[in-house]
Amino acid sequence: MRVRPLALADVLWIEPDVFRDERGYFLETWQQQSYATAGIAATFVQDNLSHSQRWTLRGLHYQVQQPQGKLVRVIAGEVFDVAVDLRRSSPTFGRSVGVRLTAAGLHAIWVPPGFAHGFLALTEVAAVQYKVTDYRLPAAERVLAWNDPDLGIDWPLPSGVHPVLSDRDRNGRRLQEAETFA
């Protein structure tokens, strides 16, 4: 497995070893010792699966208590995946990084606690599977505005196409008004 930092050093791009033959392929999507050696010493408590239609934008989500680290992988289709640093003490506070994740590519990203996370489905259907380091706590859930100009996220939406949003995501807060981390 190869791991490299993205534009925000704590967000990691993970390229697993994939063993291919005439039958298809095999890979380990999680192996605690290998990930710990790569700098991800996480204990996961829950697996989530999200299925979305094209142009659905989910996020940018985070929890102010019980912040969740997320190991994110696409198992069908393609998404544009985004992480935003919400740690005020970080030199990259308020900055974002976005990458394309595909089922065909088999890559994953690590989004540590203290970040908001979201994605845009780019294919007819997209399924995102992610492991999280803490349990969902609805009272602590927050949403950062996906279109906050201060974040500078260049969502790959075609001209004239508006994302499909939940009411919750439509009403996210701008960074300057959002609850963040120390």
The mean per-residue pLDDT over the stretch 70-74 comes to: 98
SS3 (DSSP) at 80:
strand
Burial of 85 (0-12, 13-18, 19+ CB in 10 A): buried
Distance CA 36, CA 71 (A): 13
Whether residue 160 is predicted with pLDDT greater than 90 in this model: the reply is yes
Whether residue 85 is predicted with pLDDT greater than 90 in this model: the reply is yes
- Is-catalytic flag, 162? no
SS3 (DSSP) at 144:
strand
Q: What is the pLDDT of residues 123-158, one digit of tens each?
A: 999 999 999 999 999 999 999 999 999 999 999 999
Task: Pick the catalytic residue from 61, 107, 117, 162.
Answer: 61
Out of 3.40.50.10680, 1.10.10.10, 2.60.120.10, 3.30.1300.30, select the CATH number for domain 2-177.
2.60.120.10
For Cα atoms 34, 38, 39, give the angle at the middle one, nearest 5 degrees.
120
- Is-catalytic flag, 61? yes
Q: What is the pLDDT of residues 43-68, one digit of tens each?
A: 999 999 999 999 999 999 999 999 99
Task: Pick the catalytic residue from 35, 107, 117, 130.
Answer: 130
Q: For residue 9, what pLDDT is reported?
A: 86
In this structure, what are the phi and psi dihedrals at residue 93, rounded to the nearest 5 degrees? -50, 135
* C-alpha pair distances (Å), 77 with each of 5, 124, 128: 24, 8, 9
Which residues are CB-neighbours of 166 under 8 A, at least 6 positions away?
58
Domain range summary for the chain, segments of one domain joined by +: 2-177
The mean per-residue pLDDT over the stretch 79-90 comes to: 98
pLDDT category of residue 101 using cuts at 50, 70 and 90: very high
Token duo for residue 167 = 């009411």
